[in-house]
Amino acid sequence: MNLTTAALQIDPSRPIARLTLNRPQARNALNTALCHDLHQAVLAVAENPAIHVLIIDANGPVFCAGADLKERQGMDDDQIRARRLRAFALYAAIEALPIPVFAVLDGPAVGSGCEIACACDFVIASSHASLRYPEARWGTVGATQRLPRIVGRRMAKELMFSGRAVEAQEALRIGLVNRVVAREALAACVDELAATIADGPSHALRSAKRLIDSGLDDSRHGALAREILAIEENLNAGVWKAGMSTFSGGTGRD
């Protein structure tokens, strides 16, 4: 796989992959090449059953400065439309990964960078992180679907209409990120969390992710039916026994 603007690393000793946005000279702005490379890497991860966790981070002080406006200046309407659809396909591919995915923010995420982060299952941020949704202020449309599902309708409108930056602690308070740690502690926090998740039973993690995501778009009773079916699948496959043996000697709860 020939990636020029992103780097995919798979840990040979652990079932963990790391996907890095790698256009630091352009503040990791999302252009056509980066869309393509990230999407190809995500598809490769999806096809690799040995990977249990994916980390998405960035090279440089900015996670992603949003869409590459320099590239867009030379595009006609059809080219802009095609580029936007590439980005939507990328976000959807990240969201559709069956494994836990988390983004690591150690600097600003703007526009498309926020969409990448919001497509992940959760976000770990340093105290230097921030998120900003400037699409409406730039006269375009974007980020109108994932953002309100995370922070609620009213807060999403405020962030979208004002285009203001959300600093790390506020992002934590409103649910845009899961944890905020000091910059010097970020790498250790990410490594520990990735190792903890990767050490869990992959089949159970995949089932839990699928059921949470699908259940939120279903009725309460429909979501419960999905969970019951998943439990039956788990019992029929016999995989629960391996998970239970991990906790032998302890006490557990259903």
The CATH number linked to 123 is 3.90.226.10
Q: Is residue 100 located within the same domain as residue 171?
A: yes
* DSSP reduced 3-state for 82: helix
Single pTM value for the model:
0.88
Is 82 domain-assigned?
yes
Full domain range(s) for residue 177: 6-198
Token pair recorded at residue 7: 């780097």
Residue 183 in any domain: the answer is yes
- Please tell me the distance from the alpha carbon of residue 194 to that of residue 188, in angstroms, as a whole number: 10
- CA angle (113 as vertex; 111, 115 as ends), nearest 5: 75
Phi, psi of 6 (to 5 degrees): -145, 155
pLDDT for res 252:
45
Question: Same domain for 112 and 212?
Answer: no
d(CA 254, CA 250): 13
Q: Could you tell me if residue 163 is inside a domain?
A: yes
- Confirm whether 252 is domain-assigned: no
Is the same domain home to 107 and 217? no
One domain for residues 193 and 207:
no
The encoded tokens of residue 44 equal 């490769």
Using alpha carbons, list the distances in angstroms from residue 218 to 204, 211, 223, 224: 20, 10, 6, 9
Q: Angle at CA 237, nearest 5°, toward 235 and 239?
A: 80
Question: Cβ(129)–Cβ(109) under 8 Å?
Answer: yes
Residues 21 and 129 occupy one common structural domain: yes
**Bridge partners, 180 (sequence order):** 125
Listing DSSP states for 146-178 in one string gives HHHHHH-HHHHHHHHHH--EEEHHHHHHHTS-S
Predicted pLDDT at 254: 45
Low-confidence residues of the chain, pLDDT below 50? Answer: 244, 246-254
Q: Is 254 within the bounds of a domain?
A: no
DSSP 70: H
Question: 126 and 168: one domain?
Answer: yes
Check: CB of residue 168 under 8 Å from CB of residue 125. yes
Do 228 and 113 lie in one domain? The reply is: no
Q: What percent of the chain has pLDDT over 70?
A: 85
